[in-house]
Each structure stands twice: as C-alpha cells, then as structure tokens.
A and B are shown apart, each in its own frame.
Chain A
Amino acid sequence: MRRMLAAGDPTMTPEMMQNRGAEIAGEYGGMGNTMPPAFLWYYQCGYKERWNDPENHDPSMKRSFDEYITEAVDKGWWDPSYAQAYQRVEPRVLFEAGGNLLRRQRGGQKMLLEHLWPKLKMIVSVDYRITTTGLYSDYILPAAQHYEKLGNSMPSVHHLNFVLCDRAAAPVGEALPDVEIGFRLIEKIEERARVRGMKQVTDGKGVVRSLENLVQRATLGGAVRDEEKLFEEVVRDNVVYGVFPKGTTLETLRDKGAVRFDGWGIVGHGVSQGSTIRPDEVHNPLRWHTEDKVPYDTLVRRAQYYIDHEWFLEAGEELPTHKEPPPQGGRHRRFQMTSGHNRWSIHSMNMTNNIIQNTHRGEPFVFLNDRDAASLGIANGEKVRIVNDVGDMILAAKLTPSCRPGQVIVYNGFEPYMHEGWWSQADLEPGHVKHLGFVGNYGHLKYRLFSWQPIPADRAVRVDVQKIG
C-alpha cells in the first residue's frame, strides 16, 4: 500500500502517504462518500443568492461568488462528484445522528426550512433528546445516553487518555445504543431490498454497491453484532495499531476506567500530529518536523505561510494578513456578535435538561456591556431583540463589564425552541463561506475527510440590540 501511494515520488514521508491514503479512502474504501457540505448549501439550501449579494461581500472579491465557485469546479479543484452532485440531484432524505442541524447551521433555520425541507421526502433524527431538528423530523429514533451504552467519552490529545464510558443504567424506554440502531437499520434495508428484488444500487460516483448480505458484511459475519463484542474488537484493533498498550482489553479498561495512549496508530488525526507520544511528557505536535527535520506535507515541504495561488494573490492574502471582518449582517449595525462554545460548562447537548437550566438563567441570554445597555435603557434580565439583515431573535440581556463595549456575546447551544418564535443565534449568522475556501487541489490545500473544508465564518456578525416595548 505504501509503495503504491509513494509511486513516482520516493521522497514521500509516511505522513504524506497517510494523507494521500485519506484522500482516496472515500473513493475506494467501503465508507461511502463524504463531501464538503458547502456545495449542498450553495446549490440546494438557498445560499447561492446570499453569497452573491454584493452588500454582504468579502471586499477582497473582485468577481461574483458564483464566478469563483464555478471556476473552482470547472478547473477540477474539487472532485466533480462532490462539486456537481448537488447541481444535478436534489436531496431526498436527511438522516442525522446527534447533529441538530436546525440549531447549528450557520445561515439559520430559515434557509433550511424554506429551501431544503420542501425537497425532502423523509427526515430522520437519531438522538437521546428531542431537539429542534427532531421536532422537524418525520422520525426520531431514540438513542441511548452516554451512560446507557458502552463507548468512550472524549479521547483527546489534551489528556492522552482513552476513557471508557460504560453502561451504568439500561436505556430508558425504547432507546437503543446508536450502534444497535445502525445495525437494525441495515437489517431492515437488507430485508426490504430482498422483498423488492433489489440486489444493488449505483451511488453518486457510479460505484455499484451490493445490497446483499449487508448485515453479514457490517458485522464481520456476525462476529461484532453484539455491543460488547464490537467494543472488544475496537480495543483489540487499537492494541494492534499501537494506540493502546499491549495487554489492554475491555476487562482492563473496566478495571481501571481509562488507558493512556501509547501511540497514534495509523488514523489521520493521529498521524497529523506529526509527533511521537513520549510517555508521561506533555505532548507537542509537529516534533517530527521541528526536531527531526522531517519535511512537512505542504507544497514546499516546509512550514509554509506563503501561498502563491492566483486567488490568494488577488485577495492580497498570499501571506497571513489582518483584514477587517466583512460587514456580514449589515454594515451600519452598532454591535458585533461573537458566539461560540459556552465558557466551561456542562455540554450544550444537555442545555434543555431541567437541572442544567436551573444552573443558569433557565432561558437564553445575551451578554451586553453594562454601559452599552445603559445607553439603550436596557436593564439586567430584560428581554431584548437582537436584529440584523438576515434575522432576529429574542433573549434576556445579561449585563457585565467583562463584555467589550460594542460586542454582544451569545453562547451557542440554546435550542431554537427555547426562544420566543424559535429564532436563535444561528439565524443571525449569514453563514458566508470565504471564497478562498474553495481553492483546492493545490499543494496542501486539498480536501480530506476530517482535515479541512470550506466553512462559514460565524464571528463578528453585525447586529443591533433593540429594547422591546
């Protein structure tokens, strides 16, 4: 495999080979295709009009957004099956697990509900809670909570521990572990295909995929159909790949609760660390490059800041540079809204939980500088309307001198249905993707699963704060 990946380039490092492998994995592996959703948003969710509105443009753009994206696709910077699929085909099924699209989608619910939802024939939400997206779904498949199934919490380079999350209680009601939901769906698909005499389907890339023996294939001949057996296999694999120390089993994990990573194995996230784990030392990424002088996987194979791509040169961004944020939301608005993760807190997935609601204000809130609030005649706790060119929302004002004058802070995580009218913070974020994000197939600017993709900017959104009544 390595020889194949390195063919024609004897200077490729293992990291580079791994990255090349990740790039072609979607095409040849059994995982199916993943694609950057920016193309879906653009062609099917109404963003085409918004991103081409000159009023909201990134001032660096010399042409319309459409001319850039068309050029990127025409020049083959993106796999045509990614870039063109949604120009040709309307999506019909939305299947999401734990995602809550209607809360998280930068650009807001309106874009999805007005442009995407009417095209959909079926919407399924797999979750352990009823989200706004769940309320807009045809089916909610109730999933087990983290403590109702066998799994892991957060393996992270920050603590280098794999923490076992074991089943402390049986799932409530009809809930099932998400893996079990997946297996049962596969069983059903196989059964329905048999009844309907369908033996295969052709996917968007023209790859023929068999519908026979799906369950056998997904469960390695039934060997990992059971939750425990599947997890044992996961642990064994991680030992083989050198992620977990030798001798680690589900039993030892249960005994100790966690295991310290030994290495990164062969997964992309790990190899991308570019650094070997040293036991009981702080982990620093990129040591292979900074200490061992192994070339970086960049165009010039050094730590590269200069990008001489024609679009970057045109935008004046061939080197990292500061630019004022584009006036998304309306150029004459007084405030800039920054949102993002909560300050340290219990995860927003549990935001509507009764106990968690009782640990804050029990309603969505926005931080305002105390003097700004005084100038608007707004009192602490008062309901205010945050408004801009693309949307508005109502939430409670929380006044603090820690908020910079001219700034409003809204944590993401509040469910839309916690707001009067259900409009929430993402409904004020225009969801613009920077045109330079569509540069592809150029040196290290190449799409890879879990690596990078064109994403919307959700910071410094221009808004006004209005006193209600």
Chain B
Amino acid sequence: MGTITTSKRQLAWVFDLNKCIGCQTCSVACKVLWPQEDPGTAQMWWMTVNTQPGRGTPRDWETMGGGYDPKGTLRLGKIPTDEEVGGGWDFNYDEVLRGGKGRSVHLQKTAGSKTWGMNWDEDEGGGEFPNAYFFYLPRLCNHCTQPACVEACPHDALFKREEDGLVLRNEDKCKGAQACRRGCPYKKIYFNAVRNVSQHCIGCFPRLEQGVAPACVRQCPGRAAFIGFLDDESSAVSKLVEKWKVALPLHPEFGTHPNVYYVPPFAPAPLRADGSFDEGGHRIPPAYLASLFGPEVHGALDALRAEMEKKRRGQSSEIMDTLILYRWKDALGHLERDPATIVWK
C-alpha cells in the first residue's frame, strides 16, 4: 500500500457551473495536449464535461465505490469496465471517403465499438417539461488531499507532490494492477492496456513548472475555470473556496478531500401550470445539489443569491466581480504566463 504524504501547498481548481456551457473545449484541449497520440489512450479523457443529472463517464461512476468510509478506512470500489468507460471510437473514414462505395456505406463507428461515450447523455438532464433542467459538470482528477488511489496502490507508484499537491504517478513503478482505479471514487483513472499502466490527469505539471496554467483552465472560453493555490489569499480560488465558501467539492462524502471545487448552479424559476413563474420554487431540486456537493450547498446558494441581489441593486459585490472575471487572467492565480513565450526543449 502506498503512503500518503502531506504536501506543503495545495493547488486547486474551481469551476463556475453557472458559466460552463458544456462546449468541451477543456476536454479537447487536454486530449490534444496529452493522451491523444500515444498507443492505448484512445478511450482516455483526463478532462471531461458531463450533463447533470446524468450517468456521466464512466457510465454510472457515482455508484462504483472507492474512497474512505467515515472512519477513514480505505474502501476499494470496482474497476470501471471498458464498456462503462466507452468511447475510443474509430470510424470507417477510408471506406466512406475513399472506398468508391457511394451511398451504400455511411460514416459509422467500426464494428465492436463501445456503446457509451464520455459525453453520451449530453443535454438530456432531468425534470419534466416545461420544468426540465440540466447543467454541465467539468471533471478531472481531483488531486485529493487524502487520495485513495495513492493508498490503494500496491506498488507505491502514486505520490502526492510536495510543492503543489498534485497526485502523480511514477510509471516505472506502475505494474498495471489498477488498484488505484478501485480506490478512486471519482473514477478518473484510465487503464492503458498497451503499456500496462494506469494513467490520469497530470495537472499539466510541465506547464505549471513554467508558470503556465493547465490547458483546461487556460483554454476555457466561458471564463468558468479558475486555478490557484488554496493558501494564496490573493488568488480567486482561495477567495471562492476558503474565504467566501461559495465553491464546494464534489461528493465530499467520498472522504478523499478533493481539490476541484464547484460554484453550484442556478436555473430559471419553475413554471406553474398557468404559465406564471414560481419565483420561490426551485427548478433544480436543492436535494439533488446537496447529493452532489453536500449540505453546504444550501449556504453557498444563499450567499450567491444575496450577492446577485446586491449587484442587481447596483451595489458592489466582490464575489460576483470575481465570478464575472472582468480580467481573464485573474482566474489563473500565479500561473498567468503565456505559453507562447516558452521555447520547449
């Protein structure tokens, strides 16, 4: 079993779910930058965005177990099957585009493709018309403070980096046992069958080391993603998480103390049968949000509502200004260097 060390500082992500538009730019930015070309990585999406409510990726991941019980004892869950991870599709491009078969063939997944994908239930959501609702949930490795994957690893291949708290893997030590995949309750670890190693988000550490924000954060066109040190009081992340407590971890009950935080989503007021708005009602059931972000979500939503109301009255609100993000680079904490200025060796 691996040993969890304490890091000196902890890097954290915040996603504002009221601004995420589900465009998948973060996912694609990551996919193109990291695991795309290597053998055995076709099904991997270290960064994903899913529609909630939904079954997500891997399919029904929230039911797969892992993490810690309330006493702090490691719980090993199941390893997502290849079918549940899904994706990794390839298509019959040559047959359609160059095969000379005309309309008798059409572009489709090659035979034996998985029947699920990283964003399979996009825009389906919950509720009932006209009071349907959905929102987008970007997910990556939570770089947990109490990472179950580290403890689960029988080969001590995973470690928590001292300087920024990233959970990284020594691939030379990894023997493909996949115990990390059982331990991780967020199921954000993939298995590379070609190289017989598990793989997950590396926090873009080569970029971090050059003062550049991770690709998922820097590429976000919705200004919904933030990064910074939790103990850097000047960072937006620290303010949102520590000071104002309006950004919350996903499934805190999993017991791993994740370091990706979410500003919970609002939705328009529900409609009554006569077509009028029920201003006091909730289109997204608060209980559903609490099932994702814990009971703290009610206080966070109340605080955000009060701040929005201030803004509507023409008063100033530091919280809203931070979330509006007038100056985009304020989302990047100490990592605002332009990657174009770096000459990679």
* B-binding residues in A (CB < 8 A): 130, 135, 343-346, 352, 354-363, 367, 369, 371, 380-381, 398-405, 415, 417-422
Contacts and interface: CB of A to CB of B under 8 A. Distances in A.
A418 B28 CA distance: 22
Contact of B97 (A135, A343, A356): A135
Instruction: Report, nearest first, the 7 A-B pairs whose CB atoms are least far apart.
Output: A401-B132, A402-B132, A344-B21, A400-B124, A359-B24, A422-B103, A418-B107
A402 B91 contact: no
A402 B108 contact: no
B91 A360 contact: no
A224 B155 CA distance: 63
B27 interface: yes
Contacts of A357: 89, 91
Interface string B23-43: 111011001100010000000
Interface in B99-114: 103, 106-109, 113
Given A402-B129, A403-B129, A359 B106 contact: no
Nearest to A352: B107
B299 interface: no
Nearest to B133: A402
A371 B36 CA distance: 39
B23 A344 contact: yes
Contacts of B31: 355
B119 A363 contact: no
Given A362-B91, A363-B109, A344 B32 contact: no
A344 B22 contact: yes
Given A401-B126, A401-B132, 15 more contacts: A352-B93, A355-B28, A355-B36, A357-B91, A358-B117, A359-B119, A360-B119, A361-B122, A362-B113, A380-B124, A399-B124, A417-B96, A418-B106, A420-B106, A421-B106
B120 interface: yes
Interface secondary structure of A, over-half rule? loop
Contact of B107 (A346, A356, A380, A415): A415
Contacts of B133: 402
Contacts of A403: 129
Contacts of B45: 358
A405 B119 CA distance: 24
Interface string B122-166: 111111111011100000000000000000000000000000000
Which of the listed residues B113, B115, B120, B127 has the most CB atoms from chain A within 10 Å of its own CB? B120
Contacts of A358: 45, 87-89, 117-118
Contacts of B132: 400-402
Given A354-B90, A422-B103, A346 B25 contact: yes
Contacts of A344: 21-23
Contacts of B103: 417, 421-422
